[in-house]
Structure 1
Amino acid sequence: MRPCKCKCNVLSALILLVTFLFASVHCEDPYRYLTWKVTYGDIYPLGVKQQGILINGQFPGPQIDAVTNDNLIINVYNYLREPFLISWNGLQHRRNSWQDGVYGTNCPIPPGRNLTYAIQVKDQIGSYFYFPSLGMHKAAGAFGGIRIWSRPLIPVPFPPPAGDFTILAGDWFKLDHRRLRRLLENGHNLPFPDGLLINGRGWNGNTFTVDQGKTYRFRISNVGLTTSINFRIQGHRLKLVEVEGSHTLQNSYSSLDIHLGQSYSVLVTADQPVKDYYIVVSTRFTRRILTTTSVLHYSYSKTGVSGPVPPGPTLDITSSVYQARTIRWNLTASGPRPNPQGSYHYGLIKPSRTIMLANSAPYINGKQRYAVNGVSYNAPDTPLKLADYFNIPGVFYVGSIPTYPNGGNNAYLQTSVMGANFHEFVEIVFQNWEDSVQSWHIDGYSFFVVGFGSGQWTADSRVHYNLRDTVARCTTQVYPRSWTAIYMSLDNVGMWNIRSENWGRQYLGQQLYLRVYTPSKSWRDEYPVPKNALLCGRASGRRTRPF
């Protein structure tokens, strides 16, 4: 009888193995396949013909819709006469900075070639956008919205809205991206913008139709190049519900300041008499105020928009600071997982070290540059991630930028790479001694904005930190002559861009890369180089991997 028992055990094991494999195949997260063709095309955003960069003939580009943990396979064909890359503002690319789409991680897509991005929106929900990351392409289009929806059965802290609208707003120039780039390379600042756009159009260029009595979600992103904006809807309140993947306390506002690179979600109830109302975007903290509008159209309305456009705040900093302090985490709401957001007690974790990043505007070799801690980023001939993977010497070295400002005026050019260890928990202070609002973004991460204040940050500033319910996000503002402090868990191995969202400043050096390192070679910690990775510079001629 023993041989029979042995055969039964083997048969049972085989059945279990087949069952496991079958379940694994059928439990894999869904895939969504997109094909994008990037071309030039004529656009008229401010009534003047310009050469835009289109995706599938669209300006702005196609909306991306995904559900938490979906896999996005996006095949991008470059039909331009110049190299091209797309980056994904707010997507974290867990273990996979290879997909980040900035020059520090990816070779540009040459003209006539394609690159397939493989992106998983792992453990993410919320509102984001994509944009072209090379040169000044962002001034020509090729940006679009990203909506990541919660999985079924994961509770969302508000009833399903009757509709969901994306608003991509920001400043715009009549000069084309090549001329803007030449201005910067010749040592000049960007000029003041010529206007503002909402979804690629100017004054009253879009209409959003609503039914009286129903509630709608508006996802607003500032995709501009140089200015903060204020968003408002005539006669309607804005109930804030989400900021870059974090559900917030549902405070109500008459208008919202949205700084460069930031994204917000608000609920708007159509509770006014049936007519049309202005949707207004205007510049913030500029002496010359630019304004543009769209139309909130009530179904069956026969009365168009009329009267003066509702004014918004202009130069006042105090109201913006006050508003920023009211944006808090909803501790009881679920995020991408069913457990409450507040179950992660960031305030009980002691940071292992403090990093301070101070922006400046030096002249180097007689030309305007921008710097972080006295170092103005100089792009190498080979993407940093490829140089790191293939151990190519001479491209960069870790520690080429100090973790504190040097206090001197001797700024210099360097390929800035700061080192950090996997699983560190760090405090980063953004110090701004200039007279303009700064906007900082960190790829690959969501961080906690624990505090901000005026003047010089010191250790005593920590007594004013919010260690309970501050919001987690990927882009934060720093007010003039002020500081902003964040806590961040370095749980994502890779080479990650930290940059100014003011695109002229970013182009002229206000950026660096954070190399989050582990000696482990396990795929559990970081994926290897993709087999379809483009190779350029000193990585040309090398092999990626066979599978």
Structure 2
Amino acid sequence: MKSNNNVVSSYLILFLATFFFTSVTSEDPYKFFTWKVTYGDIYPLGVKQQGILINGQFPGPQIDTVTNENLIISVFNYLSEPFLISWNGIQHRRNSWQDGVSGTTCPIPPGRNFTYTLQAKDQIGSYFYFPSLGMHKAAGAFGAIRIWSRPGIPVPFPSPSGDITILAGDWFKLGHRRLRRVVESGHNLPFPDGLLINGRGWNGNTFTVDQGRTYRFRISNVGLATSLNFRIQGHRLKLVEVEGSHTLQNTYSSLDIHLGQSYSVLVTADQPVKDYYVVVSTRFTRRVLTTTSILHYSNSRIGVSGPAPPGPTLDIASSVFQARTIRWNLTASGPRPNPQGSYHYGLIKPSRTIMLANSAPYINGKQRYAVNSVSYIAPDTPLKLADYFNIPGVFYVGSIPTSPTGGNNGYLQTAVMGANFHENVEIVFQNWENSVQSWHIDGYSFFVVGFGSGQWTPDSRGRYNLRDTVARCTTQVYPRSWTAVYIALDNVGMWNIRSENWERQYLGQQFYLRVYTPSKSLRDEYPVPKNALLCGRASGRVTRPF
């Protein structure tokens, strides 16, 4: 009889725990999406290419959601090759299973589907999604994500008269398979053939505005290789948000947007009634690529004419100066009603420093890219699954050092760095190359506390902004310079840290950060999804609950 009582008690506890967890998560609404991924003919630069479409669209459908909403996205792969989608900026709280990169998720095989379960937990702002395998990003399948504030949470500017998405990026006429063969053969990608705005080339889009009204433009650099400059002829750009952070509302004539970054600006249609160029051009390239769209004032009968207004090109100093002016709005609410500045990141002393140096070694006679001399190679089994099933031989924690080893030599390794849950860490990105680098950390926002030229040293901390630097998920590192960030490791999982230059990422400039806790609590990390695809050495295994 005593054992029966124990059984009954166990079922009761399990029922109450399940009910509690379900009731908590069910408070937030759900949105359901069905995406069919197919090939299709596209002509972005006037040349027929095979694109990757989502529901027949290039770019893909825009996701509009509200803070804390749950997104159920069923992706059907009708391609002849495996496919994955990653979510650039959505933090996947406690849920790296849904990150959509090869280190955490098995690819969706041809003819199969996978349903992502995401939550925009305590987030607002402008982001995008993209295909993460191979060079698929060079064929499309990317799209915008807009996370709106909940009703009643104040936003630090009046509601604009319209909300306009700009997905800008460089583009190649070569198909994604040929580009992949180029980089795998040990050669660099060619210079891009052009730039696109929302999947179209020169004057391919028209944005209609009413004189006297103000509009929000959300601009993301979804390209593969180049930083961009964005501007609108005759108009000022008032910066209001960077990747989920409301900013001080400084005004600019143009904005540099590096690979993987997203910005929101307010633009007031305060000029005479006519049409104006919306311009995107490459930054820090000797050959400058430019493309345009049209800002059309309603009732305008005067079209654009003459050359598009020029922007900055090779000058680094102006970009650095601009970057220093981008600050957090300490009094504005974020995703919650409390002010953004209520979290005093500058008062928290990091427990350790991780220094990451990029390099471009030749390994086995081929061009590779590396972090701390380690050039990442993907294993046969996603790291997250290998960790979950305790599969030996897939990776080991500590396979990448936490500081540079010196020199330009490199070696191949499935690189995983260890970290503890709730650690506060200082990460320094050190760049000794002559090109601008762009770094992204999945699953997190971090505070960009400082950047400067030359070699970072402990004395560099004296120049940190510990008051109102912006929190974001992607940061640039200027040539022969460093960028330092503070990050609170409050999200358990296996998280990708990578170059946003896709050639560099593909050839090894990435690794995974394993944020670990021995706890097996739903408060810390969700269990493996019931619908998880199992591949590699995890094939045929049985998942287990906590």
* AA aligned opposite 2:497: I
Q: Secondary structure of the equivalent of 2:259?
A: coil
Aligned counterparts of 2:304 and 2:52: Cα–Cα separation in 1: 32
In the superposition, relative to structure 1, how do residues 334 and 48 fare at CA in structure 2: closer, same or farther (>3 Å)? same
- Deviation of 1:26 after TM superposition, in Å, equals 10
Q: 1:476 is matched with which residue?
A: 475
1:99-110 to 2 correspondences below 5 Å: 99-110=98-109
Q: 1:58 is matched with which residue?
A: 57
* AA aligned opposite 1:71: N
Q: 1:523 is matched with which residue?
A: 522
1:246-285 to 2 correspondences below 5 Å: 246-285=245-284
* AA aligned opposite 1:30: P
Aligned counterparts of 1:391 and 1:208: Cα–Cα separation in 2: 53
In the superposition, relative to structure 1, how do residues 48 and 113 fare at CA in structure 2: closer, same or farther (>3 Å)? same
What are the Cα deviations for residues 264-303 of structure 1, in whole angstroms up to 9, with x where unaligned? 0000000001100000000000000000000000000001
Q: 1:208 is matched with which residue?
A: 207
* AA aligned opposite 1:383: P
Aligned counterparts of 1:409 and 1:279: Cα–Cα separation in 2: 41
* AA aligned opposite 2:441: I
Aligned counterparts of 1:84 and 1:446: Cα–Cα separation in 2: 26
2:360/2:408 contact within 8 Å kept: no
Whether 2:516 is the aligned partner of 1:508: answer no
- Deviation of 1:25 after TM superposition, in Å, equals 7.7
* AA aligned opposite 1:67: V
Q: 1:127 is matched with which residue?
A: 126
Q: 1:86 is matched with which residue?
A: 85
Q: Secondary structure of the equivalent of 1:347?
A: helix
Q: 2:415 is matched with which residue?
A: 416
Aligned counterparts of 2:187 and 2:169: Cα–Cα separation in 1: 22
Q: 1:10 is matched with which residue?
A: none
* AA aligned opposite 1:253: Y
Q: Secondary structure of the equivalent of 2:129?
A: strand
What are the Cα deviations for residues 63-116 of structure 1, in whole angstroms up to 9, with x where unaligned? 000000000000000000000000000000000000000000000000000000
1:531/1:546 contact within 8 Å kept: no
1:457-496 to 2 correspondences below 5 Å: 457-496=456-495
- Deviation of 1:307 after TM superposition, in Å, equals 1.7
1:530/1:545 contact within 8 Å kept: no
What are the Cα deviations for residues 120-173 of structure 1, in whole angstroms up to 9, with x where unaligned? 000000000000000000000000000000000000000000000000000000
2:527/2:545 contact within 8 Å kept: no
2:450/2:485 contact within 8 Å kept: yes
Aligned counterparts of 1:474 and 1:256: Cα–Cα separation in 2: 18
Whether 2:51 is the aligned partner of 1:76: answer no
Aligned counterparts of 2:23 and 2:82: Cα–Cα separation in 1: 39
* AA aligned opposite 2:406: G
Taking structure 1 as the reference length, the TM-score comes to: 0.95
Q: 2:13 is matched with which residue?
A: none
Q: 1:240 is matched with which residue?
A: 239
Q: 1:4 is matched with which residue?
A: none
What are the Cα deviations for residues 335-355 of structure 1, in whole angstroms up to 9, with x where unaligned? 000000000000000000000
Q: Secondary structure of the equivalent of 1:387?
A: helix
CA RMSD between the two structures: 1.4
Identical aligned residues as a percent? 89
1:172/1:196 contact within 8 Å kept: yes
Q: 2:346 is matched with which residue?
A: 347
What are the Cα deviations for residues 165-204 of structure 1, in whole angstroms up to 9, with x where unaligned? 0000000000000000001110001110000000000000
Aligned counterparts of 1:393 and 1:490: Cα–Cα separation in 2: 26
Q: Secondary structure of the equivalent of 2:45?
A: coil
Aligned counterparts of 1:544 and 1:422: Cα–Cα separation in 2: 23
- Deviation of 1:408 after TM superposition, in Å, equals 3.3
Q: 2:8 is matched with which residue?
A: none
Q: 1:197 is matched with which residue?
A: 196
Segments of structure 2 that go 5 or more residues without pairing to the other structure are 1-15
Aligned counterparts of 1:304 and 1:423: Cα–Cα separation in 2: 56
Q: 1:183 is matched with which residue?
A: 182
- Deviation of 1:410 after TM superposition, in Å, equals 3.1
- Deviation of 1:409 after TM superposition, in Å, equals 3.6
What are the Cα deviations for residues 216-258 of structure 1, in whole angstroms up to 9, with x where unaligned? 0000000000000000000000000000000000000000000
* AA aligned opposite 1:327: I
Aligned counterparts of 1:410 and 1:248: Cα–Cα separation in 2: 41
Aligned counterparts of 1:543 and 1:233: Cα–Cα separation in 2: 55
Aligned counterparts of 1:494 and 1:546: Cα–Cα separation in 2: 16
Q: Secondary structure of the equivalent of 1:139?
A: helix
Aligned counterparts of 2:189 and 2:255: Cα–Cα separation in 1: 26
Aligned counterparts of 1:26 and 1:358: Cα–Cα separation in 2: 40
Aligned counterparts of 1:328 and 1:147: Cα–Cα separation in 2: 21
Aligned counterparts of 2:345 and 2:183: Cα–Cα separation in 1: 40
Aligned counterparts of 2:516 and 2:389: Cα–Cα separation in 1: 15
Aligned counterparts of 1:147 and 1:330: Cα–Cα separation in 2: 20
Aligned counterparts of 1:369 and 1:91: Cα–Cα separation in 2: 29
Q: 1:395 is matched with which residue?
A: 394
Aligned counterparts of 1:291 and 1:478: Cα–Cα separation in 2: 23
Moved more, 258-267 or 302-311: 302-311
* AA aligned opposite 1:223: V
Taking structure 2 as the reference length, the TM-score comes to: 0.96
Count of matched residue pairs:
529
* AA aligned opposite 1:157: P
Q: Secondary structure of the equivalent of 2:292?
A: strand
* AA aligned opposite 2:82: P
Whether 2:431 is the aligned partner of 1:432: answer yes
Whether 2:44 is the aligned partner of 1:37: answer no
Whether 2:138 is the aligned partner of 1:155: answer no
- Deviation of 1:545 after TM superposition, in Å, equals 4.3
What are the Cα deviations for residues 371-414 of structure 1, in whole angstroms up to 9, with x where unaligned? 00000001100000000000000000000000000013431000
1:497/1:513 contact within 8 Å kept: yes
Aligned counterparts of 1:384 and 1:545: Cα–Cα separation in 2: 17
1:352-363 to 2 correspondences below 5 Å: 352-363=351-362
Aligned counterparts of 2:146 and 2:304: Cα–Cα separation in 1: 29
Aligned counterparts of 1:149 and 1:452: Cα–Cα separation in 2: 31
Aligned counterparts of 2:293 and 2:508: Cα–Cα separation in 1: 35
Aligned counterparts of 1:394 and 1:305: Cα–Cα separation in 2: 61
Aligned counterparts of 2:493 and 2:24: Cα–Cα separation in 1: 28
Whether 2:544 is the aligned partner of 1:535: answer no
1:73/1:117 contact within 8 Å kept: yes
Q: Secondary structure of the equivalent of 1:130?
A: strand
Whether 2:162 is the aligned partner of 1:172: answer no
2:359/2:408 contact within 8 Å kept: no
Q: 1:301 is matched with which residue?
A: 300
Q: 1:386 is matched with which residue?
A: 385
Q: Secondary structure of the equivalent of 1:460?
A: helix
Aligned counterparts of 1:287 and 1:410: Cα–Cα separation in 2: 28
2:167/2:197 contact within 8 Å kept: yes
1:445-456 to 2 correspondences below 5 Å: 445-456=444-455
Aligned counterparts of 2:107 and 2:167: Cα–Cα separation in 1: 25
- Deviation of 1:543 after TM superposition, in Å, equals 1.5
Q: Secondary structure of the equivalent of 2:341?
A: helix
